[in-house]
Amino acid sequence: MHQSNRKSVRASNRESTGGFLMGKIITFGTLKGGVGKTMLCFNIGGILSQLGYRVLVIDSDLQGNLTNNMGIDRTQPDLLTTYDVYNLEEAQPEPDQLVIKSPIDRLPLLDMIAGSIFLHKSELKIASVAGREQILSNYLSDHKAFFDQYDYILIDTNPSMSIVNQNAFLASDAILLVSDVSMNAIEGAQLFIALWEEARKRLRREDNIKGFIVNDFDSRNKLSADYLEYLRTSPDTEDLRPILFETVIPRNVRITESELAAVPISIYDLRSKGCDAIASLVDEMLARGVL
């Protein structure tokens, strides 16, 4: 990583009052599953924390894969999760009760809010709540002194435009769309853009979709090359090109192995192609001001 980028990011994130580093909130989304949102959230969080940034990752997916990747046992009976932020029938937990500190020993600057299968109940419970899309934003604001300790807050979502996900999208400085090599992924991203455009205007939010990431690229497969060419040249994908990252993430078994080992690829295999690509993506994000 480039040291000059790191310094400029810290300078640009510093608030004019209070001296706190205001963390950028980055959410990974799209409307197609299995494209690698969780993997990127996990590994980008790991790399940023290794660079010396304080990072909080939030699992907003009821499947809880990010929680599993972080090595957290979701069956613990006293585990507080993202669900507890949205369960307005009870008092919201204090952040120091909710946030799991340094679940990965080798990454002391990486903290987490775990996910929960009970998030599906949140949709029903908050459906009629006034300002239902602002519950997460309000929680972060109400506990600003706590969350200001983080340089970055990264949020993983499931492939939907649910109310819980809209909370994450509304709170975000940047939404990053993730795609695998498939037409369904392009359609999922374009549908996401259309639906969020409608929702964000209603919520008086400026456009915060800042990136489109191609994952699972197989250089041995002509289909992958054709897919990338289609993204870069076709009139049908003109809306995606301004946010398309040049860096593509290759299909790499070491990334999968690292998730199973519950450590980011930058710890599991620093020399792997997958690690090189994700590190390059972080550099590009820094250069573009997304991070």
pLDDT at 21: 45
Whether 211 maps to a domain, the answer reads yes
Is position 273 within any domain? Answer: yes
Residue 14 lies inside a defined structural domain of this protein: no
Predicted model pTM: 0.91
- Looking at residue 15, its pLDDT comes to 38
pLDDT digits (tens, 9 = 90+) for 138-197: 999 999 999 999 999 999 999 999 999 999 999 999 999 999 999 999 999 999 999 999
Tell me what pLDDT residue 23 has. 86
Enumerate the β-bridge partners of residue 55. Answer: 110, 152
- Check residue 77 and give its pLDDT: 87
Gap between the Cα atoms of 159 and 45, Å rounded: 20
Residue 51 lies in a domain: yes
Structural domain total, the chain: 1
User: Can you list the residues of the chain whose pLDDT is less than 50?
Assistant: 1-22
- Domain membership of residue 269 (yes or no) is yes
Domain-embedded: residue 222: yes
Handedness of CA 267, 65, 105, 54 (dihedral sign): positive
Q: Could you tell me the residue range of the domain that residue 193 belongs to?
A: 22-288
Question: What's the CA gap between 291 and 27, in Å, rounded?
Answer: 11
Tell me the Ramachandran region of residue 27: left when phi exceeds 0, alpha when psi lies from -120 to 50, beta otherwise: beta
Taking phi over 0 as left and psi of -120 to 50 as alpha, with beta for the rest, 80 belongs to: beta
Domain containing residue 223: CATH number: 3.40.50.300
Which residues have C-beta within 8 Å of that of residue 47, sequence separation ≥ 6?
1, 264, 266, 278, 279, 282
**Domain presence at residue 243:** yes
- The answer to whether residue 11 is domain-embedded is no
Task: Provide the pLDDT for residue 75.
Answer: 86
